[in-house]
Chain A
Amino acid sequence: MNPTDLDELLRQHAQRWAEVQSPAPLLATAVERARSKRRPRTPYLATAACVLVVLIATATFLWGRRDGTSPAGPAGETGTVVGQYRIVGGPGPGINEAIPGTIWAYSGHRELSALLHARPVAHVNTDSTGEFTLSLAPGQYTLLAAQGRSRTIESSGCGVPVYVQIAASTGTRIDLICSVP
């Protein structure tokens, strides 16, 4: 088959094809459909919005935990406990100085055994001088201090729990002592 034959063949084929085609759809109807069809929203926007909401919720939650705010207490009805975490004792002449650490607050007055599996309602990191401020809803609490993030619960020594009573809009001062022999 030479090139001219194929060229002519394709033209004839195209002509026969066009002869049997159905007429084009009504343009006015198609334009009306095109006009009324809304542009589909890209799924990326919805995904981005969901991610943003999750990030804001997470940030809010973490910010609240960082501040040591009790989730139970509505604004204006909390009291505060302030104090210092200190290490005291040791072989003579002994030490008595502030140390950095973490203060954990448990609701109610709890025995040592009850603290083992209890979930703290708030926690706060002390500053470099061992000072801390914790906002809590009014009520009774058990405070526990520890150096670093791991809690050690002891009947004597460094991990002794301390009981505190929090009243609304009132500040309570209490120092947490890590006693070393």
Chain B
Amino acid sequence: MVPDLRGEDAFTEWVAPHWAAMTHLASRLCGRPIGEDVLQEALTTAWRKRAQFDPQRGSARNRLLALTADQARKAHRRSTRRAESQLIDLPITSPAANRDIDIDHAIRRLSDRQKLAIDLYYFLGLPVADVARVMRCAEGTVKSTLSDARERLRHDLGEDFE
């Protein structure tokens, strides 16, 4: 059954369960200041295209995360064109701060597709099938992308990590 998302309240109710996941993905992909813009753009696109949502073609969460990933990719292209430097938002309050910094640096050196797969799978905890829907590819592609990403992380973290 197609939900009626015409009203603002219905739309808010539709987005609410997935808002935190969208926020986390935007923050993971773009960092905090740009991530907030990306999040707002994704929500604006979701509002504008709310009539196109078809639950038969995918869940609300996957659609909203896909829109967030799309906006993050556009923001990344814009920032690349403008050659902006981006401050990396790293937590330094945990005991494993140094280790986390190494891992974050290694993740940021991955390709955009590999990074998106890692963020969706590990940081948002999506199953491979849902990662595939958000990335609009086959599950096998997600598995191989994750495998390649892990291989590269293993190589980058290397012996120093032990």
Contact = CB atoms under 8 A, between A and B. Distances in A.
Interface stretch (B15-23, B55-63, B72-80, B128-136): B15-23
A25 B11 CA distance: 16
A25 B23 contact: yes
B134 to A, nearest CB: 16
Interface in A9-31: 9-14, 16-22, 24-25, 27-28, 30-31
A18 B44 contact: no
B85 interface: no
Interface of A: 1, 3, 6-7, 9-14, 16-22, 24-25, 27-28, 30-35, 37, 39
Given A10-B122, A17-B100, A33-B44, 15 more contacts: A3-B150, A6-B150, A10-B150, A11-B122, A17-B123, A18-B123, A19-B91, A21-B23, A24-B20, A27-B16, A27-B19, A30-B43, A31-B11, A31-B15, A32-B8
Interface of B: 8, 11-12, 15-16, 19-20, 22-24, 27-28, 32, 36, 39-40, 43-44, 46-48, 91, 93-94, 96, 99-100, 103-104, 118, 122-123, 125, 150, 153-154, 157, 161-162
The SS class assigned to the A binding surface is helix
